[in-house]
Structures are given as structure tokens and as C-alpha cells.
Structure 1
Amino acid sequence: MDEELFALLIGAGTKGSPVQQVSQALLKEAGSLAMMATWEAADFARVRGLGPAKAAELSAVMELARRIRERAQDPGEKLDAPLKVWARMEPLAAGLTVEKCWVLCLNRRNRLLALHEVSSGTATSALLHPREVFRQALRHGAPAAIVAHNHPSGDPTPSAADRTVTRQLVEAGRVVGVELVDHVVMGRPEADPAGKGWFSFGEAGLI
């Protein structure tokens, strides 16, 4: 089914590269739709049979799909469980090859007020400063916040650095009057030793 959909998007192949063959090569090169969603035009252009114009068109389709998926979420949804946080953030974290951190600003009933990316790092770490996290929370008048960050490996087991920064966030939150409700590490169920796809510091009693 995926091959047929991409064949329709591609429209026509080139000499020596029939459209069905191009579609198959595209999916094989990406490995998964989640990974393809992170591609830019240059990534599509590497696939034989896709010219610059078609590569740019497919890149635009992926970007549009990402935006639709993100905005389909209810901005005022209640985030009172780590599973809900994981479900909310998975569209943003899927396929990323570097660590990113986000702050989810909440009202007193744990409903989402705003979501901001506050850090982007490397494949194994992301620099996260409590000041930036709570600056966003205070800007929105949020009495509470959740921090989420991804592990590109898919294994959400927290590192020593994750544990340290969580303690720093808890202390900084107390100083500025913003409660850190949770710190959720995003992964994938198939790579998680626990089979869930996330690790919650709150659920583990570490906040």
C-alpha cells in the first residue's frame, strides 16, 4: 500500500527507472515512514529516478504531513499520565537522529498551555539549562511543567546526566514557583527493555 501511494505522488519515473521501482527504492532507502518524515529535499534527490523538482515536492509533502499531525493534537489536552505525554510527543520525536528537549507548560489541572523546543544536541546528548525551561513556563504563566526529551537509540533508559539534570530542574522549579510534574524520556517500545517506549521520572518516584 505504501508503495502504491508513493507511486501516485511520484507520478512518473524516468528512463530506466519505472515509477514502481522508484517507489520501492525510496521506501528501502528510508527504512521506515517515520525516518522518511525527517528527510529533506537532498535526501530524496539521492534516490535514483527522482529529480530535484520531484525531490522538493516530496519534501514539502513530508513537511505538510508533520504539521498536520502535530496540529491535530488538542492544545488543551490533559497530560496527567506519562503515556499521554509519550503519545503527544511521539510525532515530534519519531525518526530524530539527535536528542531534543521540550517543555510542556501546564495549568493547575495539568492541561497543556504551550509546548516549546528548548534544546537540540547530538545523537547522544542535548544541552538543557533549567533557565530556558522555566523561562518558557513563566512566560505563559504556567504553574507546572513537564520536560520531555528523546533518545535517538530508542532505549529510554535514563543516563546519569538525565538523572542529574532532573534533580536540577526540580530544585530550580521550587525556586521560581513552577512545579516539575515529570521528566519523560522518549524512546520506542521495541527498543525499550521495559517494552513501553518511555521512562517517566515521576512514575519511578524520582521527582
Structure 2
Amino acid sequence: MDKNLKGIELMQAGNWEEAAMAFNEAIEENPGDPVAYINFGNLLAVTGDEVRALKFFQHALELDENAAAAYYSMGTIHYNNKQFNHAKAMFEAAMKKGLDTADNYFMLGMSIAELGNKRLALPYLQRSTELEPDDVDARFQYGLCLAEEGMIDLAILQFEECISLAPDHADGYYNLGVAFAFKEETGKALDMLDKALKIDSGHEMALSVKNFIEDALKKDN
């Protein structure tokens, strides 16, 4: 079996040391192949050695500046460390080098959103959901960005798809409740908030919004 494939299988099984040996053998057999360096870097990142991981990714790019996966992996490390400008640059580079995957579009969109530009994040999050229609996180984050940009009806569609894919998604129901409340559809809002609280009785935001709506209804009566 190819040493890289063997290493990936071992890594997926949580056999870190054996995976490292397989990737190391792959590097020794073909030191000019960037793939083994990227795989070894991913292993190092998973095990918490991010400094060395970045060095492996950088070396992969020295071997092949078009190694898009290396940019993606570097971007993920920067994102996890809240270095969103660096993350954005890496995910953009990966995209320009041909990495047309839902994960890359999602992470690029999330990086842009974290930098405060929700509207610019929208097309990337949308593309992510198009490539992976069943990705609950992508649907949810896309819905949040739409809602924050005032596109309530479009946001509702995404939250509804989210709870369809994950019926126990309390935050999905909560955000639907808020969206319906914004549209002054009180009955639907309370129904969604009740469902959120049924899933997570400690959902403080859902409880707060529900109490606010009910208090407002009592005053109106």
C-alpha cells in the first residue's frame, strides 16, 4: 500500500505514532513529493504541534507552490488561533490554486465573517452549501450571516433546512424564533422558541426572547 494512504488510514484510526512513521517513510522514499509533507503537517496539527506543522506545509509549498491543500491546512491553523486575516489569505490562495471544495469556501466565508464583513462572506458560505447541501454547520452559519444582513426570509429558509437536517439543533430553532419575531409572526416565533427549549431547557437566549414576547403580549392585552 502507498505509504501516504497507509498513514492516512492510521491517522483516521488514531494511531498517531504509526501514522507518523508511514508519512516519514513516504518522505524518505520521495523527498520531492509535497503530499507527504502536507499529510505529516496535518498529523502534527491534529496532535497540537502547530509550529512544526506550519513548517511542513511551508516546505510543501517550496516543493510545489500550487499545492492548494497546504494553503488550506495553514489557513485552518491560523483560523483556530483567531488569526483571521492570515486565515483568509491562505483560504483565498487555496481557492486560486484550484481547491474548489465546500470546506475551503466555508472556512473562507467564516474568516471573512469573523473579520466583520458578513455581506462579503455570503457568496462563499452559499457556495459551500451548494457543494455540500447536507452540511448543517454551513447552512446554519449561512443563515446567521443572511439574518445579520437583514435578509430574514432567506435566513429562514436556511434555518428551516438546518433543522430538517438536524431535528435536535436548538440554535436553529432559536434563530427561527428570532426571525419570526422580527417578522412579527408571534405564534410561529413562540413555537420555535418552545422547541428550542424542549431540546435544551437551559437555552438562556431562547428563554429570554420567549419571556420578552410573552410580556409584550400581556401588555398589549
Q: Which has the higher contact order (CA 8 A, sep 6+)?
A: 1
TM-score under structure 1 normalisation? Answer: 0.32
Q: TM-score, normalised by structure 2?
A: 0.30
* Structure with the larger strand share: 1
